[in-house]
Amino acid sequence: MLLKGKKALIMGVANKRSIAWGIAEAFHREGAELAFTYQNERLRENLDELLDTIGGRAGFPTFPGDVTSEEQLDAVFGGLRDRWGALDAVAHCIAYADRDDLTRPLHEVSRDGYALAMNVSAYSLLAIARRAARLMSAGGSIFTLTYNAVERVVPGYNIMAVAKAALETEVRYLASELGPGAVRVNAISAGPLKTLAGSAVKGISRLRDVTEETAPLRRNITIDDVGDVAVFLASDLSRAVTGNTIFVDSGFHVMGMASLPATS
């Protein structure tokens, strides 16, 4: 078991299709002790039902986790300190933008909409890393989720692409700042998935079709694919890996264009 004895916080589980849940299942399989945050009571109910499938909700500490609330974040990490004393890994699987801002052109996004997307999707990593690092005196791993729309224009991604660009920059700076304490910081750039967050992106089904047609491996990814890479990042196998964005997209990001039609 690659994560036996390690203690990990999973942030962002919404339902069984969440990338965060794929990570949680993989961590559980590899022997990690897990804690979770939830956004609201409805999502807490979803989380409890999922936890019952891996041993029962009573075995996993859960905390309210509104990342815009400094008080709730303090309570999360204070609770982990009291329960575990230390922390080995954090999976930051959190992003949000107003649906109207996702569907409108970037230049028409409101100031408030821009601030909301950046606060939840990008600043939250800084707030979490600051608290997590204090519990990682023996080193640890913090990782987040991003998408290739940071480097390529993807219709419908709009304001979220800008937020993810900030997030990826944070990963590099946090890796530099926290590295002397043996805390690694990385990002996973996953291919398109029909998650709760992904469903807010206009044209997600077509995007998955294009990925399957174009990616070198000719298939879409699953949450299990992401979970296995997350296990690597949380394990000692990645002890010399930090500041990276690791693509889990069947190779789609390397393609400049789809294959040209055959000529006669």
Catalytic residue (choose from 96, 123, 147, 173): 147
> Residues 233, 238, 239, 245: is their CA dihedral positive or negative?
negative
Token pair belonging to 183: 């805390």
Q: What are the φ and ψ backbone dihedral angles of 221, each rounded to 5 degrees? A: -90, 170
The 3 state secondary structure assigned to 165-213 is HHHHHHHHHHHHHHHHHCEEEEEEEECCCCCCCHHHCCCHHHHHHHHHH
Name the β-bridge partners of 62: 36
- Decide if 45 contacts 14 (C-beta within 8 A): no
147 flagged as catalytic: yes
* Position 46, amino acid: N
CA–CA separation, 96 and 8 (whole Å) = 23
Residue with tokens 């004393």: 85
CA 139, 143, 144 angle in degrees (round to 5)?
Answer: 160
Catalytic residue (choose from 38, 96, 123, 157): 157
Residue with tokens 């005196």: 137
173 flagged as catalytic: no
Count of helices and strands (H, E) across the chain: 9, 7
Q: What are the φ and ψ backbone dihedral angles of 164, each rounded to 5 degrees? A: -70, -30
Give the number of other Cβ atoms within 10 Å of residue 251's Cβ. 16
CA–CA separation, 66 and 232 (whole Å) = 27
Provide the annotated active-site residues: 147, 157
